[in-house]
Amino acid sequence: MKTVLITGSSRGIGAAIAQRLNNEYKIVINYNNSKDEAMKLLENLRKTNPYVIAVKADVSKEDDVNLLFDLAEKNFSHVDILINNAGISHFSQIQDIEFETWKKVINTNLNSVFLSSKRAIPNMIKNKYGVIINMSSIWGDFGASMEALYSTSKGAINTFTKALSKELAPSGIRVNAVAPGIVDTDMMRNDFSYQELEELKKEVSVNRFAKPEEIADLINYLISDQASYITGDIIHINGGFF
Residues that bind ligand NAP (CB under 6 A): 7-14, 30-34, 58-60, 85-88, 108, 135, 137, 180, 182-183, 185-188
Tell the smallest beta-carbon distance from residue 123 to ligand NAP (Å). 21
Backbone angles phi, psi at 85, to 5 degrees: -110, -25
Backbone angles phi, psi at 24, to 5 degrees: -95, -15
Of 11 and 26, the one with the shorter C-beta distance to ligand NAP is 11
150 is catalytic: yes
Of 106 and 188, the one with the shorter C-beta distance to ligand NAP is 188
Rounded to a whole number of angstroms, the CA Rg of the chain reads 17
Of 7 and 165, the one with the shorter C-beta distance to ligand NAP is 7
Of 73 and 214, the one with the shorter C-beta distance to ligand NAP is 214
Tell the smallest beta-carbon distance from residue 126 to ligand NAP (Å). 26
Of 3 and 134, the one with the shorter C-beta distance to ligand NAP is 134
If we measure between CA atoms, which residue out of 3, 48, 41, 50 comes closest to residue 25?
A: 3
User: In a 10 Å sphere around its CB, with 0-12 CB exposed, 13-18 middle and 19+ buried, how is residue 62 labelled?
Assistant: middle
Catalytic residue among 25, 31, 51, 150: 150
Tell the smallest beta-carbon distance from residue 9 to ligand NAP (Å). 6
Tell the smallest beta-carbon distance from residue 206 to ligand NAP (Å). 14
Residue 120 Cα distances to 3, 72, 115, angstroms: 12, 11, 9
C-beta separation of 193 from 147 below 8 A? no
Tell the smallest beta-carbon distance from residue 189 to ligand NAP (Å). 8
Instruction: Please give the full DSSP string across 88-113, using - where no structure is assigned.
Output: ----S-GGG--HHHHHHHHIIIIIHH
Residue 223 Cα distances to 1, 100, 130, 179, angstroms: 13, 35, 9, 15
Which residues face 53 on adjacent strands? Answer: 28
User: In a 10 Å sphere around its CB, with 0-12 CB exposed, 13-18 middle and 19+ buried, how is residue 139 labelled?
Assistant: buried
- The residues annotated as belonging to the active site are 150
